Amino acid sequence: MLTLLAFGMVIVFMTLIMTRKMAPLTALILVPIVFGVLGGFGAGLGAMMLAGVIKLAPTGIMLTFAILYFAIMIDAGLFEPVVTTLVRLVDGNPVKVVVGTAVLALVVSLDGDGSTTYMITVAAMLPLYRKLGIRPLVLACVTMLAGGVMNILPWGGPTARAAAALAVDAGDLFVPMIPAMIVGAAWVLYAAYRIGVNERVRIATVGAAIFTDSTALTDSGNDGVADTRRPHLLWLNAALTLLLMVALVMALLPLPILFMIGFAIAIMINYPSVAEQKQLLATHAANVMAVASLIFAAGIFTGILSGTKMIDAMADSVVHVIPTALGPYLSIVTGVLSIPFTFFISNDAFYYGILPILAKAGQAYGISAAEMGRASLIGQPVHLLSPLVPSTYLLVGLAGVDFDAHQRFTIKWACLTALVLLGTGLVTTVIPVMGHLVAQPLPR
């Protein structure tokens, strides 16, 4: 019963937001409450929801002030020299811009932190996208595809979780997957090229969209609107941003605190007038509110999913629904299952709850724990689209796109990227195509 409730809740939630029958914000709150009540957990839902909100509160704070910080830097013109140079290099060609975005995101993703990748890539490229009339959805899509491939670096979360859950060395998981990562990165560049070609055709057909919000590049004194750029503070803003990035990498302070401090310093330096500060906050309030509210709503969803033990029920049911005939192919099954399961549930739930069960079953067919661990990493490009991933809200907030629109635009490319990783892993044999029975299969 609990398993049916869990899968039912996830299916109903995704159907509602993908078909636009409900906004993600309200679906994240109301759907789990309804299913929690149906499951007989009404009396304890309050505590579960509060626990989930409290757990995500630091993330909500970090994203709020991260968006405000980079909004200040864009308004102040920190990235204008970069944009001007890029405009000259790409010669107004959307294809070059989109491919360049993929290259930048792949390089920045080497630090293994999705939030940093999104902040740097979007902050640097968004003004250029707006200037050329390229849809921000393209920026969000390509950036996430690059992050999905690079997310399996050993210092990233998924590989570390899989290694810990299976008690294997992270290097045994990652090093054999390097060829798959290289092919995956090449695929991302090709996908960016195809998306860029489509965008060039769209712009030629309907014309470049005109963006008039405060994050767009503006001309001084245009239409009587106050110029927010601070060219005389360019190097100071660059130094402050670099210092903040170094502090983030070195973890000198918790991320929410670093961005709160960075925001306070940045707004005082660039807009010392209280009136200017109020105006800036009012201008960007919509983006900030949209992201922060989604984060706390996601806390309700995850709190009920965890508190009712629905996640545990989903994990326990996975092995039992795999036909015995598929036993020799458990490595492929694991790779395929990682695509939906890391989307519908958290990485922690998948790698600590489901993967060890699959790995034990795989041992009966001579499939090693390391091979099963590599297969489990396949779903990461799709995982980043999940409404349970906090950094995704940062991406859509910075890019200024709707969460559901981002999902619909990106899901095809993310699934194809995951399949490219799986196919390369099978071709290079680091993920075995088929095992062989070496012991009695584990009882189901």
CA proximity to 367, closest of 288, 432, 294, 278 = 432
Mean pLDDT is highest, among 7-21, 72-86, 235-249, 372-386, for: 372-386
Per-residue pLDDT tens over the stretch 270-283: 999 898 888 888 88
Long-range contacts formed by 24-31: CB under 8 A, 24+ apart: 24/294, 24/297, 24/387, 24/403, 24/404, 25/293, 25/294, 25/297, 26/297, 28/294, 28/297, 28/298, 28/300, 28/301, 28/387, 29/297, 29/300, 29/301, 31/301
Mean pLDDT, residues 382-387 taken together:
88
In percent, the amount of the chain with pLDDT more than 90 equals 23
Higher pLDDT, residue 260 or 313: 260
Distance between CA 145 and CA 257 in Å, rounded?
Answer: 29
Mean pLDDT is highest, among 159-168, 263-272, 353-362, for: 263-272
CA proximity to 77, closest of 280, 259, 245, 234 = 234
Helix (H, G, I), strand (E, B) or coil at 168: coil
In percent, the amount of the chain with pLDDT more than 70 equals 89
Give this prediction's pTM.
0.71
HSE on the CB side for 19, CA within 13 Å? 7
What is the helix (H) or strand (E) element at residue 286, kind and residue range? helix 274-307
What amino acid is encoded at 16 in this protein? L
CA proximity to 216, closest of 227, 200, 203, 207 = 227
Distance between CA 195 and CA 183 in Å, rounded?
Answer: 18
CB-based contacts of 269, cutoff 8 Å, min separation 6 = 233, 236, 237, 240
Question: What's the mean pLDDT when you consider all of the chain?
Answer: 82
Per-residue pLDDT tens over the stretch 408-437: 999 999 999 999 999 999 999 888 887 655
Distance between CA 187 and CA 192 in Å, rounded?
Answer: 8
Per-residue pLDDT tens over the stretch 299-341: 888 788 878 888 777 766 766 777 777 778 888 999 998 998 8
**DSSP output for 100-148:** HHHHHHHHHGGGS-HHHHHHHHHHHHHHHHHHHT--HHHHHHHHHHHHH
